[in-house]
Chain A
Amino acid sequence: MNLYELTVAEAMSRMAAGDISSEALTRSCLDRIDQVDGEVGAFITLDRDGALEQARTADLERKQGRVGTLCGIPVAIKDLLCTRGMRTTCGSKMLADFIPPYDATVVEKIRGQGGVIVGKVAMDEFAMGSTSESCAFGVPQNPWKKGYVAGGSSGGSAAAVSAGECLASLGSDTGGSIRQPASLCGTVGMKPTYGRVSRYGLVAFASSLDQVGPLSRDVTDCAVLMNAISGHDHRDSTSVKTEVPDFTSFLVEDVRGLRIGVPREYFSAGLHPEVERVVRGGIDLLRRAGAEVVGITLPHTEYCVAAYYLIAPAEASSNLARYDGVNFGRRDMKAETLMSMYKDTRSAGFGAEVKRRILIGTYALSSGYYDAYYKKASQVRTMILRDFQAAFELCDVLVSPVTPTPAWRLGENSDNPLAVYLSDILTISANLAGIPAISVPGGFSSDGLPVGIQIQGPHFDEGVLLRVAYILEKMLGVTRMPSLD
């Protein structure tokens, strides 16, 4: 077995036993990257020397008895998170040469626990997209099938873990951007409750929706990473002071008496029959394990895409106003005027999808349209939040698909942004409501493409999600890695 195939928990155990070193483990990942990343295309920036140095340091720390929870574990970081001294592009030409002078809080935490940061991985530009095809530095492919999307916007994060290029990664999720690529690439991916994980150093897309979360090969690793990255941060005023439990304490194979809600609106006409088969199969296993299955309705589901594609672009238009050629990033200036600097920089730096969303957002917030668009969408957001609150009176978790279909071909839907937006319907509501959600591998389509199962829960109840995901994982026994030969 190759070392890169180990899970975080397995690797920690073997390093503790003195079987393997972090240096050997890291080399294994780096060799794997050399072997497959030409095709997978997950990495934007790879730091071979830095990674090996960190690995050697981790081995030394371990010898001296200073063992962090991720001591010596190779991790990849979505290029939306600031890494001090390491280029951070956000998948955009706007930040092609941006080298942050500070680490994001989550990056600090990973380093603090001894994690080895191997590099920065590909994503849709400024996190806007569901396929990672808008990445200005190469498009990642699905490791399970050449020519198919890895998903987005954390496509690189998912592909890297799936392909064995690292043992875990960090992504971000604003409308499904961790869960969807995790589902399409056959990894675990969790979006924490809003405020659970600090957004300091996460380049902002939509501030009331963004969350950082882990992608991993199994549920245990997800819990270990959640422990490492969660917690209040005074530098993020939206982060909460709620106590962080030991997420690994929820990894118990017992769902007897747990009420599993099945939201009918997530199983509508547009759902691919093989996705439905996999998900219902999972629900059935849970029922046989002693859970109670309850039919649930989330009546405003059909409005979530419309609400999101007003709220998120509106917030984005405000957040991306900072890219003006002044403080960081590129500067283009055809004429020596301020207006020229602003317009030339922004027009050259941003890709089409980003421009599209900035335009929608600016329009939705503009005078005369604010009430009909942004305010209306925010009111519908209240309805969506209340749907979940009502549902959680009747069940403990919701189990459903993550995406309506398995991965599709690269290039499909390039001319149809709206079609891609509609595919986010099953993940978006969780961001609008701030609730936690996880995608766990559920099986495969007949083409051999992964299909994930989504579990959503009440605010701050990541524990119950992990519990359900853990038992599902044990019962399903899904293959963890593609062959890639």
Chain B
Amino acid sequence: MNISRADVEHVAHLARLHLSASELSIMTEQLDQILAYVQKLQELDTTDLPPTTHAISVCNAFREDRVLPSLSQKVALSCSPKHNEEMFQVPRII
């Protein structure tokens, strides 16, 4: 077994997802199959091989530190489910 039900529950919590009991069962099974498949990569010797995160690497994509137009506060808030004209409103954080 590559991943347990408890593992999936833990990962779901990390990803801020709630899974029902049946979803948890199905996901555990499917994730286990997928992880079993990706074990294939262990066949390859990758010692000392640098990882590639970007095939085309752009280094130091800087621009001048000039203020350019951006979204107004009103527009930036406009898509939010709840705001008070100044800020996004959310339940108590601390």
Interface of chain A residues 371 through 386 with chain B (CB within 8 A): 372-373, 375-383, 385
> A379 contacts which chain B residues (CB < 8 A)?
44, 46, 49-52
B58 close to A237 (CB less than 8 A): yes
Main secondary structure of the interface of B (DSSP, over half): loop
Q: Is A174 part of the binding interface, using a Cβ–Cβ cutoff of 8 Å? A: no
> B88 contacts which chain A residues (CB < 8 A)?
326-327
Interface residues on A, range: 35 or more
The winner among A98, A328, A359 for most chain B CB atoms within 10 A is A359
Q: A238-B61, A359-B12, A359-B27 are in contact. Are A101 and B78 (CB under 8 A)?
A: yes
B12 close to A327 (CB less than 8 A): no
Interface 1/0 per residue, A312-340 and B, CB below 8 Å: 00000100010011111111010011111
Q: Determine how close the nearest CB of chain A comes to the CB of B82; give it in whole angstroms.
A: 7
Say which residue of B8, B15, B51, B78 sits within 8 Å of A317 (CB atoms).
Answer: B15
Of A68-76, A179-187, A216-224, A303-311, the one touching chain B: A303-311
Q: A98-B79, A238-B58, A338-B92 are in contact. Are A418 and B34 (CB under 8 A)?
A: yes
B91 close to A355 (CB less than 8 A): no
Say which residue of B23, B41, B61 sits within 8 Å of A376 (CB atoms).
Answer: B41
Q: Is B25 part of the binding interface, using a Cβ–Cβ cutoff of 8 Å? A: no
Distance A305 CA – B38 CA, assembled complex (angstroms): 8
B41 close to A362 (CB less than 8 A): no
Distance A418 CA – B27 CA, assembled complex (angstroms): 12
Distance A433 CA – B53 CA, assembled complex (angstroms): 10
A343 close to B17 (CB less than 8 A): yes
B3 close to A363 (CB less than 8 A): yes
Interface 1/0 per residue, B1-36 and A, CB below 8 Å: 001000110011011111100010001001101110
> B11 contacts which chain A residues (CB < 8 A)?
359, 362-363, 366
Distance A98 CA – B16 CA, assembled complex (angstroms): 21
> A193 contacts which chain B residues (CB < 8 A)?
56
Q: Determine how close the nearest CB of chain A comes to the CB of B29; give it in whole angstroms.
A: 10
Q: Determine how close the nearest CB of chain B comes to the CB of A101; give it in whole angstroms.
A: 5
> A306 contacts which chain B residues (CB < 8 A)?
37-38, 40-41
Closest A residue to B77 using CB positions: A327
A356 close to B31 (CB less than 8 A): yes
A383 close to B49 (CB less than 8 A): yes
A382 close to B50 (CB less than 8 A): yes
Q: Determine how close the nearest CB of chain B comes to the CB of A174; give it in whole angstroms.
A: 13
Q: Is A14 part of the binding interface, using a Cβ–Cβ cutoff of 8 Å? A: no
A-B contact pairs, 17 of them (CB 8 A): A99-B79, A101-B76, A240-B56, A303-B40, A306-B37, A306-B41, A309-B34, A341-B90, A352-B23, A359-B12, A362-B11, A363-B11, A363-B35, A372-B42, A376-B41, A379-B51, A383-B49
Interface residues of A (CB under 8 A from B): 98-102, 193-195, 208, 234, 237-240, 300, 302-303, 305-307, 309-310, 317, 321, 324-331, 333, 336-344, 346-347, 350, 352, 355-356, 358-360, 362-363, 366, 372-373, 375-383, 385, 417-418, 421, 432-435, 459
Interface residues of B (CB under 8 A from A): 3, 7-8, 11-12, 14-19, 23, 27, 30-31, 33-35, 37-38, 40-44, 46, 49-56, 58, 61, 63, 71, 75-76, 78-82, 88, 90-93
Besides the known contacts A240-B58, A379-B46, 8 further A-B residue pairs in the complex with CB atoms under 8 A apart: A238-B61, A239-B58, A303-B40, A325-B90, A328-B80, A341-B90, A363-B31, A382-B50
